[in-house]
């Protein structure tokens, strides 16, 4: 089911998301609906508070298949950073240059709620994870961006 994506100015986007205590059918359904929503919006990542539910869930697909993480947190990062242009499904029409770590390690609960999964990421996946984890902390890319510009509309 495709959910409504909350837009910049909605207070839920500034909320500190709460930890997922137990991965039950309801939480798994939310994660599946978040993936459906992300794909329908042609995005590469989505955090639960972007669909109005302030819990610590992110979904990402940078072209290598979907990743769902519950209670994700960055536990390590490399030394190098890169500045690239980003956009956001909750801030349509704007992009900005954001500095982020090139390599990170993220820890999060697995889909079945057993144990912790460590994910080493670099490039676009590392950037997407940092962007979505920021959402869970109430941080929008606009808070970190420089050279914010309006996107040009694609003519089809």
With vertex at residue 100, the alpha carbon angle to CA 114 and CA 30, rounded to the nearest 5 degrees, is 35
The most distant pair of C-alpha atoms in the chain lies apart, rounded to whole Å, by 47
Active-site choice (64, 97, 120, 132): 132
132 catalytic residue (yes or no): yes
Rounded to whole angstroms, the Cα distance separating 13 from 128 reads 17
Rounded to whole angstroms, the Cα distance separating 75 from 56 reads 16
Catalytic residues: 132
């Amino acid at each position: 089911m495709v959910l409504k994506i909350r837009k910049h100015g909605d207070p839920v986007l500034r909320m500190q998301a709460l930890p997922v205590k137990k991965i039950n059918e309801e939480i798994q359904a939310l994660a599946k609906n978040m993936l459906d929503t992300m794909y329908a919006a042609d995005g590469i990542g989505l955090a639960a508070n972007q669909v109005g539910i302030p819990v610590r869930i992110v979904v990402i697909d940078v072209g290598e298949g979907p990743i769902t993480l519950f209670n994700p947190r960055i536990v390590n990062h490399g030394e190098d950073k890169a500045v690239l242009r980003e956009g956001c499904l909750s801030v349509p029409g704007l992009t900005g240059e954001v500095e982020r770590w090139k390599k990170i390690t993220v820890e999060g609960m697995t889909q079945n709620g057993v144990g912790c999964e460590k994910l080493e990421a670099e490039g676009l996946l590392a950037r997407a994870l940092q962007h979505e984890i920021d959402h869970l902390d109430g941080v929008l890319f606009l808070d970190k961006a420089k050279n914010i510009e309006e996107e040009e509309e694609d003519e089809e």
